[in-house]
Structure 1
Amino acid sequence: GLSKLKKVTDTTIVIPNDKLLTVAPDLPLNMAFRVSDEILANATKGIVEMVTKPGMVNLDFADLRSVLKDSGYAVIGVGEASAAQSKDRAIIAIENTLRSPLLDVDLSTAKRALVNIIGGEDLTLREAETIFQEVASRISDEAMLKWGARIEPTMQKSAIKVMVVLGGVEFADYSEVGIKKRIAEQEEEIDLDEIFDSKEERKGK
């Protein structure tokens, strides 16, 4: 399904449901899927605000389009550092973003990246650059990387939020080789001879 969808879309954002086990393993099934929906809703809200709210270093729709157009598979990571973590908040915020269990992909395969940094009035240029450089060090050396920063006066002092959109990433499970491998494994699990023998036995009875 994903491989077919990829052929007719600019970008297919992948959020594997099995990663819910690491996010909400003990929640009832319906509530666990709500967690996934909430993560996706927050990511969507972040993208909308990124291109509609003015920033100190601005990102607009053209930047978003340049990252997502014809990029194949993409992932979105959102993370933050609280006021209590103010000492190393820039590193903590980007690490929380890149280590999100729903951003389960080899980051070095990303061919394009968009980084949006949101902080209070005490956000510094050095912190923004630290986050930018950390993302740059994780993705391909040839990747296109755009970043923006916005001051949010209503945000709790010393807190930082980061959103990263990675385009052109590669999922081994969703490649043609990976899909063929899974199909072969599923076919091996189905013993056709056993099925036919069982039918013949029932007919004999």
Structure 2
Amino acid sequence: MKDSGTAMLGVGVSSSKNRAEEAAEQATLAPLIGSSIQSATGVVYNITGGKDITLQEVNRVSQVVTSLADPSANIIFGAVVDERYNGEIHVTIIATGFTQSFQKTFLSDPRGAKLVDKGAGSQESTKSPVSLKSSASNNSAPRMSPRKLFF
């Protein structure tokens, strides 16, 4: 993620029954991150909860974040237990490594940063928001294998 250009920050907090999923969704949909997580090549996120946080909740946050990120993105995460957060889960996400065209779009009008991916021969995706492939990348370049989570 070093020298990856613009970085976006998202924060989510929840204390409801579905707190893990809600906090992750808030963080990925935060105004400073918007749809950009899908076009990021690097994502770092942290999960903080009290002594009552479960491994299932950590896993659920990870599922939400990775399902929204680009399949080839480098993803790093951490989990922290802090007694001050009993009953709550806080998720903080930093996304980086955006295409130059995305950076120009976002810096000129952050509301216009929702991008569309028109794959080879495909129609516009109905999934919203979607990603934009780097204009600097060659379409014949090999894709990285799908990432695996270890925790």
Instruction: Specify the TM-score bucket, using the shorter chain as the normaliser.
Output: 0.5 to 0.7
Contact 2:10/2:31 (8 A) holds in 1:
no
Aligned match of 1:167:
96
Higher relative contact order (CA 8 A, sep 6+): 2
Is 1:145 aligned to 2:78, yes or no? no
Which has a greater percent of helix?
Answer: 1
1:106 to 36, 47, 67: 36
1:158 to 84, 87, 94: 87
Percentage of identical aligned residues:
32
Is 1:70 aligned to 2:10, yes or no? no
* Per-residue deviation, 1:113: 0.6
Contact 1:107/1:169 (8 A) holds in 2:
no
Q: Tell me the TM-score normalised to structure 2 length.
A: 0.64
Contact 1:120/1:159 (8 A) holds in 2:
yes
Contact 1:80/1:159 (8 A) holds in 2:
yes
Of structures 1 and 2, the larger Rg is shown by 1
CA distance in 1, matches of 2:8, 2:91: 14
CA distance in 2, matches of 1:173, 1:75: 11
Contact 2:37/2:43 (8 A) holds in 1:
no
Number of aligned residues: 106
SS in 2 for 1:169: coil
Is 1:91 aligned to 2:21, yes or no? yes
Q: Deviations over 1:127-176 (max 9, x none)?
A: 11111121111111111111100000122x2200010010112463616x
Is 1:133 aligned to 2:66, yes or no? no
- Write the letter of the residue equivalent to 1:131: V
Q: Runs of 4+ in structure 1 displaced over 2 angstroms?
A: 104-107, 169-173
CA distance in 2, matches of 1:109, 1:145: 13
Aligned match of 1:24:
none
Change (3 A) 1:114 1:172: closer
Q: Tell me the TM-score normalised to structure 1 length.
A: 0.48
CA distance in 2, matches of 1:128, 1:136: 12
Q: Output the aligned Cα RMSD.
A: 2.0
List gaps (5 residues or longer) in structure 1.
Answer: 1-66, 179-205
CA distance in 1, matches of 2:25, 2:69: 14
